[in-house]
Amino acid sequence: RSMQKKLAWRSHLVIVDNTPKPASLDVDNDIEREKAFQLQTVRSMQRGLSKLKQIGIPTARPSDYLAEMVKSDLQMKKVQQKTLAGIKETERKELILKNREKRKLYKQSREAGVAPSQPKGTANEVSRAMVSQKRNYRNAKFGFGGQKKRGKKNTTESTKDVSAFSRLKH
């Protein structure tokens, strides 16, 4: 402390709050103790800000202050694209869930004997598009499926058709 007294306040910026603690403060009560710490901190901060203003040291950034970005523009674009993709994905999932609920209600009402109108709308179309997209992907990856056995079995038409026969080849 003796060192702090010798130096100018500007060099150490230490503020000691000497206000006595309230007599009614229960040190075993965490909430009251935290409130007392918060009050002490706020008082010290206010005193420090006023001292800084007296000395002439600015405490706020100018309105035209531009900080240098840590991430590049390309990286920020990637981040933005990821967040937008996440938002679109959640919207798509919500539409699918709504469509599933509509179908359940439609099925229940049909079983009950009531004839409601077919559920329409964008959720149904999105669901169909997703099924179509999945089907196209799997078809490209694995083929169209279906029975592979007995595929080259002769039929009466194929037996009678001799247009593909060539004496030179056979």
In terms of C-beta density within 10 A (0-12 exposed, 13-18 middle, 19 or more buried), how is residue 99 classed? Answer: buried
How far apart are alpha carbons 34 and 32 in whole angstroms?
A: 5
Supply angle C-alpha 69, 73, 78, rounded to 5: 120
Which residues of the chain fall below pLDDT 70? Answer: 1-5, 114-129, 170
In terms of C-beta density within 10 A (0-12 exposed, 13-18 middle, 19 or more buried), how is residue 123 classed? Answer: buried
pLDDT at position 45: 93
Please enumerate in sequence order all residues whose Cβ is within 8 A of that of 14, keeping only pairs 6 or more positions apart, or say none: 4
78 three-state secondary structure: helix
Nearest Cα to Cα of residue 94 among 121, 113, 69, 112: 121
How far apart are alpha carbons 153 and 37 in whole angstroms?
A: 90
b/e map 49-63, b = 16+ CB within 10 Å? eeeeeeeeeeeeeee
How far apart are alpha carbons 134 and 22 in whole angstroms?
A: 70
pTM of the model: 0.36
Cβ(128)–Cβ(101) below 8 Å: no
pLDDT tens digit string along 71-106? Answer: 888 998 999 999 999 999 999 999 999 999 999 888
pLDDT at position 89: 95
Cβ(116)–Cβ(106) below 8 Å: yes
pLDDT at position 79: 92
pLDDT at position 117: 59
pLDDT at position 165: 81
pLDDT at position 47: 92
